Amino acid sequence: YSKNPNLLFSMASTTKIMTAIIALEYYKMGDILTIRTEKVDGVNVGFKIGQEFFFKDLLYSMLLPSGNDASLAIAQNYKGGEEEFVRKMNKKAKSLGLYSTHFADPAGLLDREDYTTVLDLAKLASYALRNKAFAEVVGTKEILISDVSKENSYKLTNLNKLLGINGVTGIKTGYTDEAGQVLVTSKTEKDHTIIIVVMDSLDRFSDTDKLLYLVSGNINYLSIHP
């Protein structure tokens, strides 16, 4: 089912799905990253310049409360810095056939330059879920992390209100004034994964919940034999 599947929309923080993909293909979970910028626009976990974190904890910080400071740290610690990281994001999009998608920053703050379609975003989400680490993180409701020194700890809560309800296993929220409310949802049913993407919504959780209700028990899976 689709409505305006190829219309371009600002994607807001669902940009971080691609940020996570590039990061997971580059970093190891135990790699130590340094915070180089604090008080980024939008949502911040509250990190300070000079703090060190394991990559795994920054990944949770980026995908659960949608910390822009975490996503920027992940990009800035990449070989070649943020500019090269964003270039890699766009290269990956092309390799996945997401020809209507463009990234300008790792957090999704640049509305007019971070754009995609619901169809491309669904394809991106499907690809991301193949990574077990990604699936585990976006399926986590809350977690307590700390910096490497163990001197500072942070309780992270997932912004996805539907997580764990009616088979929902993830994936990512997004919001800016221009993008409106965005939600990418994964649902497990009969050993299949269903992806639902809502963009430019006034109530992303209500819209998605209605689609979840329509989907539940109403899909027939066909086996194709050669």
Distances (CA, A) of 8 to 26, 78, 89, 147, 160: 29, 29, 18, 38, 23
- Our measurement of the distance from residue 197's CA atom to the centroid of its chain's CA atoms, rounded to an integer in Å, reads 12
Task: Judge contact between 54 and 30, C-beta under 8 A.
Answer: yes
Q: Are 204 and 181 in contact (CB under 8 A)?
A: yes
Phi (first) and psi of residue 171, to 5 degrees: -135, -55
Cβ atoms of 101 and 197 within 8 Å: the answer is no
Catalytic-role residue among 10, 61, 66, 186: 66
CA angle, 153 then 156 then 159, to 5°: 165
Helix (H, G, I), strand (E, B) or coil at 98: coil
| 194 three-state secondary structure | strand
Nearest to 125 by CA among 187, 68, 191: 187
CA dist 61 and 200 (Å) reads 24
Residue 16 annotated among the catalytic residues of the structure? yes
Task: Spot the catalytic one: 2, 3, 10, 13.
Answer: 13
Residue 71 a catalytic site member: no
DSSP 222: P
Residues with catalytic roles: 13, 16, 66
